[in-house]
Amino acid sequence: MGLNGEQQNKTGQAGFLTTRLEKFIEWGRKNSLWPLPHGTSCCGIEMMSTLAADYDLARFGAEAVRFSPRQADLLIVAGIINLKMAPVLKSVYEQMSDPKWVICMGACASSGGIFDVYSVLQGIDNIIPVDVYIPGCPPAPEGLIHGLMRLQDMVQAGDTHAHRRMRALGMRTWG
Amino acid sequence: MLNGPQKFREQIDILGKTFGDRIEQVTVPESGRTDVPVVRVAKGSLGGLLSFMKTEPGFEYSYLSDLTATDELTRPRFDLVYSLYSHKHGCRIRVKSGIDEGEAAPTATQIWPGANWAEREVWDMYGIRFSGHPDLRRILMDERWQGHPLRKDYAIRNRQLFESSQPVRPGLLEEKNPGAGTTGDDEDIWDGARTIVNIGVVHPATHGALRIVARLNGETVEKSYLEFGYTHRAKEKLGETKTYHQFIVYTDRLNYCSSLINNTAYAMAVEKLLGVEAPPRAVWIRMICCEISRVIDHLICVGINAVDLGAFSFFLYGYHQREEAYTLIEALCGARLTTSYTRVGGMMYDAPDGWERRVREWADKTRGVVDEMDRLLTGNKIWRKRTEGIGVFDREKCMQYSYSGPNARAAGIDVDLRRDQPCMYYKDIDFDIPLGENGDVFDRYAVRMEEMRESLRIVVQCAEKIKTGPVWCENKMIRIPEKDQANGTMEGLIHHFKIFMTGFEVPPGEAYTTFEAANGELGFYIVSKGGPVAHRMRIRGPSFWHFQGLEAMIRGHKIADVVAALGSINIIAGEIDR
């Protein structure tokens, strides 16, 4: 992609960049992810730490937290999803508009974690597609930031569930 | 303070005279099988005995600490267990009554309105019906769930998945007496029309997965009902399958804002059953941990309460101090949130060198930050208008709904288990118990702010009194061998293997251990029938009882004040759902 510092005019004079529209749009998307924080338990507290001043998720363009699925494109599932919650999570995911991404934070959401019991869904990938899994119980804020950066790479490369789904339907992924 | 065996003997004599042979059995602590007297009563006299105990002078067990059941798999199959506490005499007692499958127990909701949800939980988990209960529905599990999970014959992995979420039930919001809410109101500009609003499960102001369904007259909440169970993780069932050592990790995930308090309370509960004591250094470290956790729990509560009402920067001040506290906790055990730091009979590791000094520095700095936060918000006109006189819960209601901790103290109830039932070394520490007057949102905020200062005082005193020494008790049965012993000696290796593979034996008996957690009375009721696994692991989370009061608290308030009231009682979903 041509949109980086190397090609800028080092003398500070006005220059121009060349890139493909598709890459440019993905670049915009990855730097303005709007998360819907679906925090249910312990991981939700670490997600709050990540959003607060010390770790400051705003540095990655993802501070515009939206609690309405219609306004968000990144679902961060932070914490336990049990069988009573599972249909709720599914309908939240379905209400988000494409392209949409899912980060699965922590062991409970990824696999049920230490809760292999009657009430707990053993991994949210049973009901919705997941792009990035973050291990930990709970993951430290650095873990969430790392997961978000990996997701940014995937969005830039057009290699996410949402992209593949759109391509499979014969849709353009860039609007 | 427990008033000793003398008091109980008097009480038991009176009970014997009044109820005669309807009292089936009395177990006293001297038998070694229980921590407080247990009175077993015939099912027919249960209601009579409970109301007698609540009101009779000399008893005055006016506070329902806990209501639960156990599955004995004999005849009668279940035991209902009522843990009662007398604020006046500072003593506890348990009432039990056997009940068979298919039988209905008398409800206690006329005696304590707060028994409502606890009875619903017993119905949900054990399938015991309560006759006369106003609204006996499932509470933790989905309404469509089949079976009762805490019964011993319910398989722990028996899952049931539903296609759709639990539907809203407008029928619950109808008045039993139609027209009662609509007539005679001149200001009813809506002409009797009402809206039903669903708040949650996914909503910024619900603090975890909760749901409030409210019937509104304009913007005023006329009636509402609350729903939870969306993070139910079956910790009580796990307590019946994991060994006492393995269960420590599950206690972290109760109130995850202050997991060190849960760790400590759980360790004390098992130690009480075993009859062992942690050595002094371990106890001092536990006390420092508890008070640090109390501070960070309160910081998050007041911070989020302010965020919900629009004061965002206030939250950021507190949150930075939380991060500093996490650094201290990481130095102890390597984890920030889910600490698992205590062990039965000791601690995982000793505190690192110089930790006490760092704790003192943190306490000094945090005191400054709390003062700064105080100046930022307490006098703020908007804040006061949004909080004063809102969500009032007075003394009487607090007692009815078994409120404890800062929420009860905000209403002026002078109760603090650290002082009233001293455990660890709290009696050697000088601290005050701040009280409110009105029990509104502002008082709950002010009490928490003041409690943070007191906790910091305790932290500093503990950090001065702490001495070097062992952090493990001498009892070889429960003490986990050091790594060099486990790796270097045959005996140590075998011992290590035994503890982790089969666990240590706990003698038969039962105990209800409480501790003043950040939110109020946190209790572990453990029944052991011998062996390395508990027969019943009941967790009494204070939020469960506080949340129940919310319906009464918000009735007649504007919908925006619901958010203020909800934030002020500090609901932690992990503690309600367990």
Q: Give tens-digit pLDDT for B261-318.
A: 999 999 999 999 988 989 999 999 999 999 999 999 999 899 888 988 888 888 888 8
| Contact flag A49-B202 (C-beta cutoff 8 Å) | no
Least confident span in B52-61, B64-73, B380-389: B52-61
| Contact flag A85-B201 (C-beta cutoff 8 Å) | yes
| Contact flag A88-B165 (C-beta cutoff 8 Å) | yes
**How many domains does one find in chain B?**
2
- Which residue did the predictor score with more confidence, B25 or A149? A149
Q: Give tens-digit pLDDT for B508-518.
A: 989 999 999 99
| Contact flag B161-A121 (C-beta cutoff 8 Å) | yes
Give the DSSP letter string of B38-69.
Answer: EEEE-GGGHHHHHHHHHHSTTT---EEEEEEE
ipTM: 0.84
- The 8-class DSSP code of residue A8 comes to S
Average pLDDT, chain B: 87
Please name the member of B155, B250, B319 whose beta carbon is closest to the beta carbon of A52.
B319
Residues B327 and A140: beta-carbon distance below 8 Å: no
HSE value, Cβ hemisphere, 13 Å, CA-based, for A10: 1
Residue B183 has pLDDT above 50, yes or no: no
| Contact flag A119-B149 (C-beta cutoff 8 Å) | yes
Residues B518 and B256: beta-carbon distance below 8 Å: no
pLDDT of A132 reads 94
| Contact flag A118-B161 (C-beta cutoff 8 Å) | no
Helix axes A42-51, A141-157, angle to 10 degrees: 70
For residues B366-392, average pLDDT: 90
Task: Report chain B residues whose CB lies below 8 A from the CB of A39.
Answer: 208
The answer to the question of residue B252 being in a domain is yes
Residues A158 and A101: beta-carbon distance below 8 Å: no
Residue A133 has pLDDT above 90, yes or no: yes
Tokens 């009430």 locate to: A119
Quick one: closest CA in A to B140, which residue?
A: A84
- Of the three residues B65, B98, B131, the one that is the final residue of a domain is B131
Q: Give tens-digit pLDDT for B437-473.
A: 888 999 999 999 999 999 999 999 999 888 888 888 8
| Contact flag B154-A46 (C-beta cutoff 8 Å) | no
B277, B394: one domain: yes
DSSP E strand boundaries for chain A: 35-39, 74-78, 101-105, 132-134
B127, B239: one domain: no
- Of the three residues B131, B160, B176, the one that is the final residue of a domain is B131
pLDDT of A6 reads 53
| Contact flag B253-A41 (C-beta cutoff 8 Å) | yes
Give the dihedral sign, CA B251/B252/B255/B259: positive
Please name the member of B158, B203, B256 whose beta carbon is closest to the beta carbon of A41.
B256
The answer to the question of residue B148 being in a domain is no
- The 8-class DSSP code of residue B100 comes to -
Q: Could you tell me the CATH number of the domain that includes residue B527?
A: 1.10.645.10
Task: Report chain B residues whose CB lies below 8 A from the CB of A116.
Answer: 156-157
| Contact flag A119-B574 (C-beta cutoff 8 Å) | no
For residues A95-108, average pLDDT: 91
Residue A128 has pLDDT above 60, yes or no: yes
Quick one: closest CA in B to A39, which residue?
A: B208
**Size of chain A, expressed as the number of residues it contains:** 175
pLDDT of B1 reads 38
Q: Which site among B162, B202, B207, B312 would you substitute to test the A interface, given the most A Cβ atoms closer than 10 Å to its Cβ?
A: B202
User: Residue type at B291?
Assistant: E
B117, B245: one domain: no
The answer to the question of residue B349 being in a domain is yes
Residue A1 has pLDDT above 50, yes or no: no
Q: Is B280 helix (H, G, I), strand (E, B) or coil?
A: helix
Q: Looking at the complex, does the CB of residue B161 fall below 8 Å from at least one CB of chain A? A: yes
User: In terms of Cα–Cα distance, which of B118, B240, B153 is closest to B527?
Assistant: B240
pLDDT of B289 reads 92
Q: Which two tokens stand for residue B92?
A: 């506890």
Least confident span in A11-25, A90-104, B146-160, B403-417: A11-25
| Predicted TM-score (pTM) of this structure | 0.89
Residues A114 and A122: beta-carbon distance below 8 Å: no
Could you say which residues from 499 to 538 on chain B have a Cβ atom under 8 Å away from some Cβ of chain A? none
The answer to the question of residue B500 being in a domain is no
**Banded pLDDT at B477 (limits 50, 70, 90):** confident
The answer to the question of residue B339 being in a domain is yes
Paired residues of B109 in beta bridges: none
Number of cross-chain residue pairs from A and B with Cβ atoms under 8 Å apart? 121
Element (H, E) at B310: none
CA distance linking residue B557 with residue B371, whole number of Å: 31
Please, what's the b/e burial string for A114-139 (b: 16 or more CB within 10 A of its CB; e: otherwise)? bbebbbbbbbbeeebebbbbbebbbb
CA trace torsion B309, B311, B316, B322 (10° rounding): -40
Q: If 0-12 CB within 10 Å is exposed, 13-18 middle and 19+ buried, where does residue B266 land?
A: buried
Helix axes B280-308, B441-465, angle to 10 degrees: 150
Average pLDDT, chain A: 86
Nearest CA distance, A101 vs chain B (angstrom): 18
B241, B127: one domain: no
- Of the three residues B131, B152, B181, the one that is the final residue of a domain is B131
Q: Give tens-digit pLDDT for A49-101.
A: 888 888 888 888 888 888 888 889 999 999 899 898 899 899 899 999 888 99
Q: Give tens-digit pLDDT for B8-28.
A: 778 888 887 887 778 878 887
B109, B243: one domain: no
HSE value, Cβ hemisphere, 13 Å, CA-based, for B200: 26
Start-to-end Cα distance in chain A: 19
Paired residues of B527 in beta bridges: B510, B536
The answer to the question of residue B359 being in a domain is yes
Residues B339 and B260: beta-carbon distance below 8 Å: yes
B78-86/B91-99 β-pairing: antiparallel
The answer to the question of residue B184 being in a domain is no
Q: What percent of chain A has pLDDT over 90?
A: 37
Q: Could you tell me the CATH number of the domain that includes residue B73?
A: 3.30.460.80
User: In terms of Cα–Cα distance, which of B445, B434, B436, B438 is closest to B392?
Assistant: B438
Nearest CA distance, A68 vs chain B (angstrom): 8
Task: Report chain A residues whose CB lies below 8 A from the CB of B165.
Answer: 84, 87-88, 91
Least confident span in A8-17, B73-82, B320-329: A8-17
Q: Looking at the complex, does the CB of residue B252 fall below 8 Å from at least one CB of chain A? A: yes
The answer to the question of residue B171 being in a domain is no
Nearest CA distance, B6 vs chain A (angstrom): 45
Least confident span in B101-110, B202-211, B412-421, B516-525: B202-211
Q: Which domain holds residue B299?
A: 235-476+509-576
Q: Looking at the complex, does the CB of residue B152 fall below 8 Å from at least one CB of chain A? A: no
